[in-house]
Structure 1
């Protein structure tokens, strides 16, 4: 009872301090569009007002208010469909190109699972959040309001909804999973400390360049602590090798399904069922073919510019072409983003990138086999694929943020709600599906990894995503401090996020570190209360 009272008082002081520190004005772009009466005036306003210029490559506001001025419903539906496509491309790029590159880099560099799980794995899962935040901070005119809310919205979604769903599913299937207490407390405490530091930055209302560097360096301290705890664990395991081997053997027998048994059960078919299975196989083949044709415009540009040298997707022609075109793609993006370069500078950039692409393509053609992927210089090839997947993620995130800002202007929604809902959910769906699947089918170790990812991922997103965003924007204003976007709701979001962390930190040790319905149900209730308050405030049911 005392703990609950102290917690409520702390949450109230957090929200109150932020509410009194700021005003109620949130600056958005192109907001005067709704003051225009006719469709012609709206089209002219979009064309002439600099605040309506797109941050991406497509002028969505001009398409909506000019090309679809007579059919606004159709234009809005098309924009929503394109939003779905962009979310798919973003998540697919991370899963098909970014994450494999991270995984192979980890294996090639001989990184331990503990180190890779707290560095490269969060980097792969959190790349959309990080890039969306950086793009929003450095391009949008609202001062990064979308970036802040998308990172915090994704963090509260992962730490409450994902952990809650995993806990409820574990309880429903009557599985007993005991989490590792030291690692859990380490991750949650570090996230609490990070959020407290972020809260101080928001309350102060500004951050210097050196303070932003210090904020990012907190992640290095976290990695050092993870490494130290990992080496201590290895040292203890070496003192009891026999017990560890027996435990691993028992765990394998208890969690793995015999492969031969599953194959035999699938191959035992009655003669009368053969035709049915053949027809089903043909239908599935036709469905896959149609999907491949539709997916080709999305698949081919990335396949032709991201080098891939895995055994499953090995193709020498694709490697040669991607190695040749990748530098040219980077040059095109560079010239598009930096429009101040003259024609001579642009020509020089294209010439240098074309020469590099020609050299890389020649090396790929001369020193690789047509049957098997290369076995030498793997670090360079994996790093090349990693950089190009990062480039694609950057482009897609740029366009996604631009479209979301456009939709916010069309429907009159503030960037706060966009970042907390649409952008946060879209970037967190991959974490939800991957972590739940790992928890349900990966045994006790899989559940431990999934729960750890639910806290290490948000920690990475806040420290690296927001941290690097702070570094970039504060560097551009140096020596003057960067002013944090005026948004009273940020403190409220951090308050609910801290509430979810404290709930887990209190409940799990009391339950012997066992996942159950109390933990999961409480976390889901916290998120639903958070979401209700945000939506109710957005539609005007409650005031600030």
Structure 2
């Protein structure tokens, strides 16, 4: 039988092409140049021997930026501007840290996941494949971009941040989130589907084993990295075959996963209906409610909307959105016009402003944006989004949401690296804790909520998501980062410093998986308090051991 290009196959190829193109642009961007290229001989370790802000500021001015892979040099910002006001400077940095976590999560939820879901519907992807590819990509977007930035960044030592973030996030989700779900459901005696659990545990252990081999060997070439990343394609194929042959994961499961995805909306977003407030202001409408409390909530949402406006507008005016609920022709035209300009700025921002190439890039971006804006004006209606040529709009939204996610992750990793130097804390510990927790807290809230309120089916999907997510982060998010680094030095191999502490963390992660496997099988696949308490103890013991070891090495 000949090969036929069905919509599903075309959909797979289209999305794969988009991911490859965007990742290629990010890797070729000077901002994201490979961390494997020769670094400056300077680092920030000398800061620990200086005791006042003036001397630290003078030292930072005398060397090249040593922890600056984002738009802001956070060390210089603190030490050169807040001498005498250290508490104020540190407070601003921590406030900015919260903002970056919000930006990363909100962009993934509001724009990235929306684009993926629309692409899935437009390309008629099967429910199971969409669940383990597009929805996993949407839920794992923060980890994906944090991993990319950690490996592609210019700051020294961010390899540790990327590796520890993936391992820390996987440990948190498979131990803490699964543990909390197990303890919460111990009275309901919910059964976990045996075949799906064995499949996920088996693939996850295989992924951890391959990662451990890479760390022990200490280097990997392009083909090895590509093979590691391709294991996720094998996992997706296995899930798809299981669904086609055994009926595992019917269409209703996708609906549950979509509900899970909608629950992952950032908490701040739940407090304020941005689109509703925007429409009310633009149209001059305010619907008075019968209850005064409703008016109070409206004005509270208005205050929050004003506060978040500087974070909202730049993304709204550069990420094309064509959903029925959020359609606005003026904003859509502005987004396709300004998107190429933003890409031009990102391409040029570290180049010399007087160079000829910079001018050419800006001119090209401006002309492309102008042409796209005129085309959008001529081909769209004010009342509803376009019905024809929808794929270019969705592809544009997908690319620009990836761009904004990458920008947020880049700043987040840069700030965490700088905070490590400021407080004398290893960046690997910050990746294992702060960054991993920040990226995984949504999984905790979402999966626990779904397990408690959506019945046995919701509990099953929540538990499955606790393993599918880490599999995606380990094989795809970390794998694509290794592929990018290896490609940059091809045909040579990239060198990864062996970290015994990271291997110990991987070992504790495997212990947690084995504990879950043994307890579930001894309890006839029922979730219970023994399993949950054991997982929490394993996680706390692993984390405590790592912190003690890191503290003792300083």
Q: 1:295 aligns with which of 287, 298, 308?
A: 308
Q: Which moved more, 1:174-183 or 1:79-88?
A: 174-183
d(CA) in 2 for partners of 1:116 and 1:64?
45
Instruction: String of CA shifts for 1:460-497, please: whole Å, max 9, x gaps.
Output: 11111211121122222333321113422110110111
For 2:42 and 2:113, how far apart are their aligned partners in 1?
A: 35
Could you report, residue by residue, the CA deviation over 1:258-292 in whole angstroms, capped at 9, with x for unpaired residues?
A: xxxxxxxxxxxxxxxxx996221121111111111
Cα shift readout 1:131-179 (whole Å, capped 9, x = no counterpart) = 11111111121151100001110011111111111122222xx334222
Could you say if the C-alpha distance between residues 533 and 236 of structure 1 is closer, same or farther in structure 2, counting changes exceeding 3 Å? Answer: closer
| Residue 51 to residue 372, structure 1, CA distance change in 2 (3 Å) | closer
Residue of structure 2 equivalent to 1:96:
110
The answer to whether structure 1 residue 395 and structure 2 residue 407 are counterparts is: yes
Structure 1 equivalent of residue 485 of structure 2:
473
Secondary structure at 1:539's aligned position in 2? helix
SS at match of 1:67: coil
Cα pair 1:56 1:402 within 8 Å, conserved: yes
Answer yes or no: is 1:231 the counterpart of 2:233: no
| Residues in 2 aligned to 1:73 and 1:513: alpha-carbon distance in whole angstroms | 51
> What is the alpha-carbon distance in structure 1 between the residues aligned to residue 485 and residue 532 of structure 2?
38
Residue 445 of structure 1 deviates from its aligned partner by 2.4
Measured after TM superposition, the shift of residue 425 of structure 1 is 0.4
Which of 128, 135, 144 in structure 2 is aligned with 1:121?
135
Alignment-derived partner of residue 75 in structure 2:
61
Measured in 2, the distance between the counterparts of 1:358 and 1:454 equals: 45
Q: For residue 14 of structure 1, what is the aligned residue in structure 2?
A: none
1:433 Cα deviation from its structure 2 partner: 1.6
The alignment's TM-score, normalised by the length of structure 2, stands at: 0.82
1:340: Cα distance to partner?
6.9
In structure 1, the gaps of 5 or more residues are: 1-26, 238-243, 246-274
Counterpart CA distance in 1 for 2:227 and 2:289 is 64
* 1:430 paired to 2:445: no
Q: Deviations over 1:355-383 (max 9, x none)?
A: 22222222222222211222222222222
Q: How does 1:263-282 map to 2 (within 5 A)?
A: 278-282=291-295
- Deviation, structure 1 residue 516: 1.6
TM-score by length of 1: 0.84
- Residue aligned with 2:349, SS: helix
Alignment of 1:481-492 (within 5 A): 481-492=493-504
Distance in structure 2 (CA, Å) of the matches to 1:235 and 1:74: 55
Whole-Å separation in 2 of the counterparts to 1:513 and 1:157:
21
**How far apart are the structure 2 equivalents of 1:531 and 1:176?**
29
Distance in 2 of aligned mates of 1:320 and 1:343 = 30
Q: Is the 8 A contact 1:160 1:526 kept in 2?
A: yes
1:459 counterpart = 2:471: yes
Larger Rg: 1
Shift of 1:234: 3.9
Matched residue, 1:130? 144
Q: What displacement does 1:197 show?
A: 0.7
Evaluate the alpha carbon distance shift between residue 496 and residue 321 of structure 1 in structure 2; reply closer, same or farther with a 3 A threshold.
same
The offset of 1:40, in angstroms, is 2.1
Confirm or deny that 1:347 pairs with 2:362.
no
**Equivalent residue for 1:377?**
389
Check the 8 A contact 1:28/1:141 in 2, yes or no.
Answer: no
Q: CA RMSD in A?
A: 2.3
1:216 aligns with 2:267: no
How far apart, CA to CA, are the structure 1 residues paired with 2:497 and 2:343?
31
Partner of 1:84: 98
Q: Map of 1:22-421 to 2, 5 A cutoff? A: 29-139=43-153, 140-142=155-157, 144-171=159-186, 174-234=187-247, 278-336=291-349, 339=351, 343-421=355-433
CA distance in 2, matches of 1:536, 1:170: 33
Q: 1:38 offset after TM fit, Å?
A: 3.7
Tell me: CA distance 1:28–1:460, structure 2 relative to 1, closer, same or farther (3 Å).
farther
Q: Which moved more, 1:205-214 or 1:374-383?
A: 374-383
Distance in 2 between the 1:463 and 1:141 partners?
A: 24
Quote the Cα distance in structure 2 between the aligned partners of 1:236 and 1:158: 21
